[in-house]
Each structure stands twice: as structure tokens, then as C-alpha cells.
Structure 1
Amino acid sequence: MQKFGTEKFHGVNFAVFPNKGVLGSGEARKSMEEMAHKTHANWVILTPSGMQETPYSEEIRFDREKSCTDEELCDMIRFAQSLGLKVALKPTVNCDNGVWRARISFFDHDVPCEPKWGNWFESHIAFQKHYAQIAQRTGCELFLTGCEMTMTEHRETDWRKLIAEVRTVYDGPVGYNCDKYGEDHITWWDAVDVIASSGYYPIDDWENQLDRIEEVVKKYQKPFIFSEAGCMNIHGSALVPNNWELQGKEDDAEQADWYLAMFSACEKRDWVKGFGIWDWPGSMERKSPYAVCDRPAEAVIAEEYSRCAKNR
């Protein structure tokens, strides 16, 4: 096992799931500089994507237009490091048909002519190891072996094998990003160095959820971070921050209030080591409802990150 740093993880997910060319643009470098300066982040999370056609496809591809090139990813990692940021690399699988990755699943027993878990995990291991090698070569300080793969997580033996394979090419801390409400359903947290979760919890339910997660952290005695945490600037999103399809009027104040509530609740839990804000775009043209740049939430995050940095 590798030791994870003791300082607070003040992170931001940057230019998420970048298509080819996004990270290599001057706009992306300018945007990352602004992110580092405006939020006082000390970590950036980069999320190169691998694509499979449907939730039931066995092959994960990461050499097409929807995936960044290795060269531009390495250049962006080094640029982030030149700004004084630590880098967490989180290769993430998505589906071409738009179905959420949490629904990727297969029959638990092999059936002739049907897609199989074994074939999919073989492809997933190759995908993760490819980026783990990049993480090793560029000195990334954390490697997260995927995100929100909810319907795969019961495959304990397969996940333990994947993590072991990643460790053959990357010698830094390894973690996994489970989905919200999934922290206490994973039985293989002992295999990783860092427990990570997507913290999309209702504004009025943080205390209950933190009570539940705390039991997991106590059981496994691992550092814990919310490697994703965010809320859209849409009215009503604070109650269902995980619903990216929510429609409504813009409400910047509600987004800011959600962040205030999260920081306030987590401040009382010293086992919460930090956050990966979702998100900050590679250019303002790609600004999503979750983006915090140039919105009141940005100031809330900057205040929290700078305050904690002063108290270190």
C-alpha cells in the first residue's frame, strides 16, 4: 500500500472527458491557469475517457475523437505541475449511446453468444494500465481506477485483479471513485490506498450521509475524499445535485448555497480529506450548468480552499 499525503485535497475536475484536441489548446492552458489562481486549488483531476458502444459492449476504445491523445494529456499534466498543482489521473469509461457508465453490466454466468464479464474486464484492465503508465511516467500523485462503475462493483475478484495489475506499472497511491450512496456497498476497499466517492448529496441530507460514510472509513482506515462534488446552477438542483438532466431557470445562489452546506457539514468531519469540484471547463464555450467559474460558487470554493490552506 502507498501512503496518501496528509494535506487537504483541494481539487477541481478540469476539462472533463476531453475530446481530441481540447487539452492541447491554448484556451485550455489559459483556463487551467485561471482555475488555479481563482479557486486556490492544490490538486487537479484529469479524466481521459475510454468509450464503449453500449453498456453491454465488451471493448473499451481510447484511440478515437472522443478521447484525448497521450501527447496532449502528458503536456497538460506537466503544465499543471508547472503551476504547482498535484495531479490525480482518473481514466473514465463512457458509453457512445449516452447511457450512464453505472449501468455497464453482463450476465453473471457466461452464456454462449452473449457478452461476458471476463472479456470486458480484460479490456478495462488494458485501458486502466495504459493510463497508469502515463501517470507513472509523468509523476501523477494519485491514480483513480475509474468512476461510478456501480453495476460492476460486485465483481470483487475482477476488481482486485485490476488494482493489482495497475500497481505493476504505477507505484503511487491508487484509489477508486464509487458513486454516491455506494460507499458502503464495496467489499474491496482494503485493496486501495484511497476511498473516493461522488458527493452529489441533497443540501439537507449531508449529516445523514456523512454518518453513514464515516462507518466505512472507520472500518477500512483509509483516507477519504469526495473526488467529485458538485451542483448545477439550476433551480431545484440542490435537492437532486446528481440529476444532470434537471431543467429549470438558472439559480446561481442555489449552487453557491449547496457548496456552503457541503463545506460546513464536512468541516466537522476530519476524516473528509478533501474535494474534487465538478467542474471547471477547458474553455468558457464548454461551460456546463455544473461549472463554477465566474459564478458565486467560485468565490465560496476559493474562500474554503484559501482558509484551509492558511490553517494547515
Structure 2
Amino acid sequence: MKKTLLLGILILLVLAVWTYQNQAAEVKKPVKILDKQKGVCWVGSPKPLEGWELDSLGSFGITHISQTPFGWQADPNLPDIKWEKHTDRMWWGESLIGLEYTTEEARQKGVESVLKPHLWVRGEWPGAIEMTSEQGWADWFEQYSEFILYYAQYAESHQIPILCIGTELELTSGRENEWRTLIDEVRTVFSGELTYAANFTEYEKVKFWDALDYIGIQAYFPLAEKINPDLQSLKNGWKKKIKEIEKVQKKFNKPVIFTEIGYCNTVDAAIAPWIWPNERKAVALSEDVQALCYQAFFETAWEKDWLAGAYFWKWYPQPRDRNPDFTPQDKKAQEVMRSFYTAGL
């Protein structure tokens, strides 16, 4: 009887040890990024580049640029998408010829590209795209898949390391099965890494992050409630958002990329960072607030091990003298970005 009892205890101990070892083996190591992508969102040029336009990127510590070819959808509720396959009426820098030239010239200067196709919706933003029937959804995903695969094949042939499969398509991303099918299709032609650029109001609801390599966020988080905020209040705003991001990051154990982040040079830049410059023409300008927004980001979110990179919206081939605007070029924010992007070099 005693031998039987001891044998039973021994078996239970062995099973317990075996279970513990297997559970421990299944625990994934926390994400820790060593070489962050120090990026800007490159604006495609209307006319061919001469090459020198990319020369200054290295001096700012920029290691990556995102390039954005466009597709066009006339109505957010109708599944009709056009892109370069259908028309040559586009800026040179957004065509395959322009993308190829920019990619190769940047690469020669030590700057890598991320390809980020984007839908332009007449009178709306991509987050408004929503079909009104199941057949409409089937037609839309069929066309959208063809659009993305067009650029996935290009990205593969030019060894582009990261492809973003969608941007701010907030009312479509809940259709998990369709997106998973699209991701599988893309992986048959593209061997690089994949992300999706979810709006900051969307990323917590996306269920297919496990099928991608990065959690992508359009990081236009509101950081303040008043104009002319100080640095500490902006950092406090980021700390709240970081806690929310970390819940998603830990759930999927994927690195995060801020596929876009940016602030206008206005006193209200931190209240609603996503507002277009044309809607801010009556707002007072402030390089100081823009620079503080950059500083707050770098002193909080940028320091996180799980953040693989950030892409500041936006960077022109030739700086423009337009106010207000998102670009940090020739402004105080540019020097803040430079100081953090070049730190340790």
C-alpha cells in the first residue's frame, strides 16, 4: 500500500515537473529592440529627383523612410479602387519608377525604405470605408487584395524589408477572416516583414496582429487639453497612452512601430494632432510646442524596448515654407529629432 502511494506521489511529481517545464518553454521572451528604425514619412515628388534631395537624411540620423504609393477610391461605400495599374496620372515619386529610384538612391546613402500603400478617398479619410452588403465587402476585398499584391510583388523584387498592408482602414479591420486571407496571400509573394498601420483609435480592436510581424500604430494620440502645454504635461499624456499600448503589445508579444507620428507647428498641436494644417489656419503658430511634443515622445515612448521605430510625418524632398505644417524641417523640432536620432552614433 505504501509502495503504491509513494509510486503515485512520484508519478504526480514527475508530471508536475514536466508540465512546469513545458509551460516555461511556452512563455515568450519579452520583445527588446536593439536597433530602432529612425524614420520619416517621405513625400513623393511631383517631378523626378536629382539625387541630392536625399543627401541630408544621414546627418539627421534617419535610417528609414516610408514611401507611399496611392490607390484611389471615389466613394467610401462602393468597392471601386484604382491605382497605377489603371492610370498614369500620379506624382512621379508615387509611381513604381519613382519608388525604385528613391529606394535605390536612399539605400546608397544608408537609408532603407518601408513601403506603405495608402487609399485616398474622395472627400473622406480611409477610416470611412465601409461596404453596405456582403457582396460589396467581397468585391472590395478582391480589389484591395489585388492593389496590395501589386505592391507586394514590387517590394519583393526590390528587397524592401517591410510592407505595410493597409493604413487607417478602421471600419474594415473588424473583418478578421478577410484580413487573414489577405495576409496569407501577401506572404506567398513577399518574404519580408509585414505590418498594418492602425489608427490610434483602432489598434486595440485589431485581432490579427498575431499574423503580422509588427503592431503598427498611427500615433496621433491627444496629449493635452489646452494650448501651449509644458513638457511635463505632455510626458504625462504619453505615459497614459503607453500603458494602453503595452496591454496590446504584451497580449500579442509583437514589437510596435509608430507608422506615423507628427505634430503641427501650432499652439494646439498636442490637443488633436491628427487635424490637417488647412483646418488650423486661424491657430497661432508655435515651433516651441511642436518641439516639446517631439521631446515628450523621445523621453517616454521612444525609450521603450518594444518600440521598433517611428516615422515622423512628414519630410519633403525640398523643405517648403508653408505654415502651418507637420514637417519638422527647418524648425526647432528638427533639432530635437536629430539629437535623439543621432544619440550614440
TM-score, with structure 2 as normaliser: 0.80
Residue number in structure 1 paired with 2:296 = 261
The answer to whether the 8 A contact 1:4-1:193 is kept is no
Residue number in structure 1 paired with 2:259 = 227
- After TM superposition, the structure 1 stretch with the greater mean CA deviation from structure 2, 163-172 or 52-61, is 52-61
CA distance in 1, matches of 2:164, 2:32: 12
Tell whether 2:297 aligns with 1:239: no
The answer to whether the 8 A contact 1:9-1:273 is kept is yes
The answer to whether the 8 A contact 1:197-1:227 is kept is yes
1:268 Cα deviation from its structure 2 partner: 4.3
Residue number in structure 2 paired with 1:103 = 128
Tell whether 2:68 aligns with 1:47: yes
1:249 Cα deviation from its structure 2 partner: 2.1
CA distance in 2, matches of 1:134, 1:100: 25
Q: Flag the structure with more relative contact order, 1 or 2, with Cα contacts below 8 A and sequence separation at least 6.
A: 1
CA distance in 2, matches of 1:285, 1:291: 9
CA distance in 2, matches of 1:174, 1:184: 18
CA distance in 1, matches of 2:318, 2:151: 24
Q: Deviations over 1:205-252 (max 9, x none)?
A: 211111011011101011111110100012211221111133312211
CA distance in 1, matches of 2:294, 2:252: 27
Tell me how many residue pairs correspond in the alignment: 294
CA distance in 1, matches of 2:205, 2:33: 26
Matches within 5 A, 1:33-112: 33-34=55-56, 36-63=57-84, 64=87, 65-66=89-90, 68-95=94-121, 97-110=122-135
Residue number in structure 1 paired with 2:38 = 10
Distance 1:170 1:33, change over 3 A: same
CA distance in 1, matches of 2:333, 2:320: 19
Residue number in structure 2 paired with 1:113 = none
Residue number in structure 1 paired with 2:147 = 127
The answer to whether the 8 A contact 1:4-1:173 is kept is no
TM-score, with structure 1 as normaliser: 0.89
CA distance in 1, matches of 2:201, 2:238: 12
CA distance in 2, matches of 1:136, 1:267: 29
Tell whether 2:334 aligns with 1:298: yes
Find runs of 4+ consecutive structure 1 residues off by over 3 angstroms: 3-6, 285-288
> Which residue type is aligned with residue 9 of structure 1?
Q
Tell whether 2:247 aligns with 1:215: yes
Residue number in structure 1 paired with 2:137 = 117
> Which residue type is aligned with residue 37 of structure 1?
G
Distance 1:141 1:297, change over 3 A: same
- RMSD of aligned Cα (Å): 2.0
Q: Deviations over 1:159-202 (max 9, x none)?
A: 11111111111101111110013221101111101111011123
CA distance in 2, matches of 1:229, 1:267: 12
> Which residue type is aligned with residue 299 of structure 1?
E
1:285 Cα deviation from its structure 2 partner: 4.2
- After TM superposition, the structure 1 stretch with the greater mean CA deviation from structure 2, 213-222 or 259-268, is 259-268
In structure 2, runs of 5+ residues without a counterpart are 1-30, 224-233
> Which residue type is aligned with residue 103 of structure 1?
A
Give the fraction of aligned pairs with identical amino acids, expressed as a percent.
28
Q: Residue 208 of structure 1: SS of its match in structure 2?
A: helix
The answer to whether the 8 A contact 1:93-1:101 is kept is yes
Matches within 5 A, 1:172-211: 172-203=192-223, 204=234, 205-211=237-243
1:284 Cα deviation from its structure 2 partner: 2.8
In structure 1, runs of 5+ residues without a counterpart are 111-115
CA distance in 2, matches of 1:131, 1:222: 24
CA distance in 2, matches of 1:74, 1:269: 33
Matches within 5 A, 1:283-294: 283-285=318-320, 289-294=325-330
